[in-house]
Structure 1
């Protein structure tokens, strides 16, 4: 659940939720939805999160700019 009273922890949880939901969308062939969710992950992920780097790579692979 991405609903923590600590705003920093909550942002990290939202980052992870968006990233993994994007991965699922990508597996289902929903490229535009995946790109949208990876973009949201990029906004919310702290730079030190591996999901931030992975989301940037996925957006690039999908033809967008991180």
Structure 2
């Protein structure tokens, strides 16, 4: 998350979105579904709607049985 920090708030939000999404994917790969669900939720909340990670996070949440 420290690497996602940026003085430009728009860029920072996008980078935090990506960090949460890919950390969620890693958690999912490791079988830590609750953490993955939490991080996908954060990614969905932070991702600009134009980011593919926003759509992917919503799809992953649906597969995990959580409502986006």
2: distance between equivalents of 1:56 and 1:48? 13
SS at match of 1:53: helix
| TM, length-normalised to structure 2 | 0.96
Give the one of 32, 35, 45 matched to 1:33: 35
4+ aligned runs moved over 3 Å, structure 1:
none
RMSD: 0.3
| TM, length-normalised to structure 1 | 0.99
Give the deviation of 1:12 after TM superposition. 0.2
Structure 1 stretches lacking a partner, 5+ long: none
Give the one of 18, 21, 26 matched to 1:19: 21
Q: Does 1:47 align with 2:49?
A: yes
Give the deviation of 1:36 after TM superposition. 0.1
Give the deviation of 1:61 after TM superposition. 0.3
Give the one of 57, 60, 63 matched to 1:58: 60
